[in-house]
Amino acid sequence: MILSGIDMCGYYFDGDDLFLLSITWVLGTAWEVLALSLAAWIAVKHFRELQRPSTGWAVGDYFTVLMETHVFYFTR
């Protein structure tokens, strides 16, 4: 086949190799779905908080509240 110009290379999975490949794929997909779900949840909470009426805070107060909410998200 090499003389005819066709260069084929392949690896055939069998037994434990196929199982480990499947487990790696499933765990990677589950991790990505979890990360996407958490990002969407935080985005929804953020946009809901933006809809609340403003109380006329000063700029310093805004940064204080911003830091407190970020600490609250990450400690939950």
- Under the banding of pLDDT at 50, 70 and 90, the label for residue 4 is low
- Under the banding of pLDDT at 50, 70 and 90, the label for residue 55 is low
* pLDDT above 90: residue 31: yes
Radius of gyration of the chain (CA): 25
68 occurs within a structural domain:
yes
8 occurs within a structural domain:
no
* pLDDT above 60: residue 3: no
Query: Total structural domains in the chain?
Result: 1
Report the predicted TM-score, pTM, of the whole model to 2 decimal places: 0.50
Q: State the residue range of the domain holding 60.
A: 33-75
* pLDDT for res 45: 87
